[in-house]
Amino acid sequence: MALDKNQIAKRIAKEVQDGYYVNLGIGIPTLVANYVRTDISVEFQSENGVLGMGPFPFEGEEDADIINAGKQTITTLPGASFFDSAFSFGMIRAQKVDLTILGAMEVAENGDIANWKIPGKMVKGMGGAMDLVASAENIIVAMMHVNKAGESKILKKCTLPLTGVGCVKKVVTELAVLEVTPNGFKLLERAPGVSVDEIIQATEAELIIDGEVPEMVF
Amino acid sequence: MINKKVNSVTEALQGIEDGMTIMLGGFGLCGIPENSIAELVQKGTTNLTCISNNAGVDDFGLGLLLQKRQIKKMISSYVGENAEFERQMLSGELEVELTPQGTLAEKCRAAQAGIPAFFTPAGYGTEVAEGKETREFNGKMHVMELAYKADFSIVKAWKGDEAGNLIFKGTARNFNAVMAGGAKITIAEVEELVPAGTLDPNEIHIPGIMVQRIFQGEKFEKRIEQRTVRQK
CATH number at residue B168: 3.40.1080.10
Mutation site, A81, A88, A93, A131, interface B, largest B CB count within 10 A: A131
Per residue in B168-221, pLDDT (tens digit) is 999 999 999 999 999 999 999 999 999 999 999 999 999 999 999 999 999 999
Reported as a single tens digit per residue, the pLDDT across A130-188 is 999 999 999 999 999 998 888 999 999 999 999 999 999 999 999 999 999 999 999 99
Predicted local distance difference test score (pLDDT) of residue B157: 98
CA angle A96, A98, A100 (to 5 degrees): 115
Mean pLDDT of chain B: 97
The CATH number of A5-208 is 3.40.1080.10
The answer to whether residue B224 is domain-embedded is no
Enumerate the residues of chain B whose CB falls inside 8 A of the CB of residue A129. Answer: 100
What residues contact A6, with CB distance under 8 A and at least 6 apart? Answer: A31, A34, A35
pLDDT at A141: 98
pLDDT digits over A55-73, tens only?
A: 999 999 999 999 999 999 9
Q: Does B146 touch chain A (CB under 8 A)?
A: no
- Condensed to tens digits (0 to 9), the pLDDT of residues A137-150 reads 999 999 999 988 88
Q: What is the pLDDT of residue A123?
A: 81
Contact of B135 with chain A, judged by CB distance below 8 Å, is answered with no
CA distance A93 to chain B (A): 8
Q: Where are the alpha helices (DSSP H) in chain A?
A: 5-13, 28-32, 85-93, 129-135, 196-201
> Which residues in chain B have their CB less than 8 angstroms from residue A162's CB?
125-127
Q: Is the pLDDT assigned to residue B87 strictly greater than 90? A: no
Look at A73 and B229 and tell me if their CB atoms are within 8 Å.
yes
In angstroms, the separation between the Cα of residue B90 and the nearest Cα of chain A is 7
In this model, does residue A122 exceed pLDDT 90? no
Q: Is B173's CB within 8 Å of A84's CB?
A: yes
ipTM given for this complex: 0.97
Q: What is the pTM of this model?
A: 0.96
Domain residues for the domain of B180 are 9-116+148-216
- Using DSSP, state whether B15 is helix, strand or coil: coil
Residue A79 has pLDDT above 90, yes or no: yes
The distance from CA A47 to its chain's CA centroid, rounded to whole angstroms, is 14
Q: Which residues of B touch A165 (CB under 8 A)?
A: 124-126
Q: ∠ CA A208-A211-A216 to the nearest 5 degrees? A: 85
Residue among A65, A85, A129 minimizing CB distance to B178: A85
Q: Are strands B134-137 and A184-190 parallel, antiparallel or unpaired?
A: unpaired
CA distances from A218 to A11, A190, A215 (A): 6, 12, 10
Whether B102 and A93 lie within 8 Å, measured CB to CB: yes
Structural domain count, chain B: 1
CA distance to partner chain A, nearest, from residue B13 (Å): 24
What CA–CA distance (Å, rounded) separates B109 from A55? 31
